[in-house]
Amino acid sequence: MDNVIASNHSPVETPPEVTLIPNNSLLTETPEEGRQLAVKMARLIIKLTQPDDEKRKQLRDVYGNDAMMLIAVGQTVATEFATIAAANNYWQK
C-alpha cells in the first residue's frame, strides 16, 4: 500500500521491482490457466503494495482465519478473472 498511497516514485516513470503480469500477457491456453493468472495478478498487487516478505507472512494467520477476508479475496480474484476471460474471448472455440 505504501507506494500506492504515498510513494513519490511512479511505477509508470520508474520500473517497479515487481513484475505485475507474468509473461506480460493476458492470453492463456485454458480457463484454468486464466484463473491461475487471476490469482497471480491479485497476489502481485499485494506484493507491490507491501513488498516486505516478513510482513506479508505475519498477515497470513489473519487472513486464514478471517471469513470476511476470504470472501474479499474471492471478490478481487473474480474481478481480475473477468478481464482475463474477456481477453481470451472466454476461450470459446
CA distance 86 to 27: 10
CB of 76 to its own copies, least distance (A): 5
CB of 41 to its own copies, least distance (A): 8
CB of 27 to its own copies, least distance (A): 7
CA distance 24 to 43: 15
